[in-house]
Amino acid sequence: MITLDFEGTIFDETRQRQKIRKLFAGFGLDYDSICRSFSKHNFFDLDCLKKLKINGERGKTIIKKTTEIVESGKEFIYEDAKIFLEQNKEELGLLTFGDKGFQKLKIKGAGVEKYFRKIVVTQKEKFHEREILSKTDILVENDLVVLESVIKHFKKIKPYLIDRLGIYENVPENIVKIKKLTEIRPACRRQGSNKCR
């Protein structure tokens, strides 16, 4: 199975955040301080808004409009991710970190559920997710620290680092660096793996 990360790997979280940030600003609210004050992991979820106690119509409108952005998240899927998901013939898994309810909403909103055999949302470090990782042949991540911690525990996994922004310079030799998901197949073939039909 090829297991993918979500944000930064197939989903452009930054663009979605910008859109939500703009919406909040329109109501005179600072999205970033709200996000930080409610979550030690710096992830936003709809509960934040409820805790904020923005009462009345204004509160309802913000929740409704934020939910709408999340539910129509197809626009935030990277172009190469769309192509990869459409053309891929291997079994796919999705392993993502975040608030369970909100993350599920995001994945559903992005319209990508149908491509994955298995979807795991975790609030622990990813290497704890034995069930999905023990079935994983290739893991694609945009976070080098996460990738390295996983392969320390799962030696047979081939690690692929997706470096869309070109921020990683000295990547260990055992890690395959790619810029787009459509590079998975050719890179995998070069390695002589049979996990890349």
Q: Which residues bind Mg ion (CB under 5 A)?
A: 5, 7-8, 142
109 CB-near residues (< 8 Å, 6+ apart): 70, 71, 72, 73, 74
Minimum gap (Å) between residue 103 Cβ and Mg ion: 12
E strands present in 78-170: 92-97, 118-122, 138-141, 158-162
Question: Which single residue is written with the structure tokens 């690690």?
Answer: 159
Q: Is 145 left (phi over 0), alpha (psi -120 to 50) or beta?
A: alpha
Which residue's CB is nearer to Mg ion, number 179 or number 189? 179
Which residues, listed in sequence order, are joined to residue 3 by a DSSP beta bridge?
93, 139
Which residue's CB is nearer to Mg ion, number 5 or number 137? 5
Minimum gap (Å) between residue 141 Cβ and Mg ion: 6
Minimum gap (Å) between residue 8 Cβ and Mg ion: 4
Which residue's CB is nearer to Mg ion, number 49 or number 133? 133
Minimum gap (Å) between residue 96 Cβ and Mg ion: 8
**CA 78 distance to own-chain centroid:** 11
Minimum gap (Å) between residue 120 Cβ and Mg ion: 14
Chain residue whose CB lies nearest Mg ion: 8
Which residue's CB is nearer to Mg ion, number 98 or number 137? 98
Task: State the Cα–Cα distance between residues 94 and 112, nearest whole angstrom.
Answer: 10
Which residue's CB is nearer to Mg ion, number 29 or number 171? 171
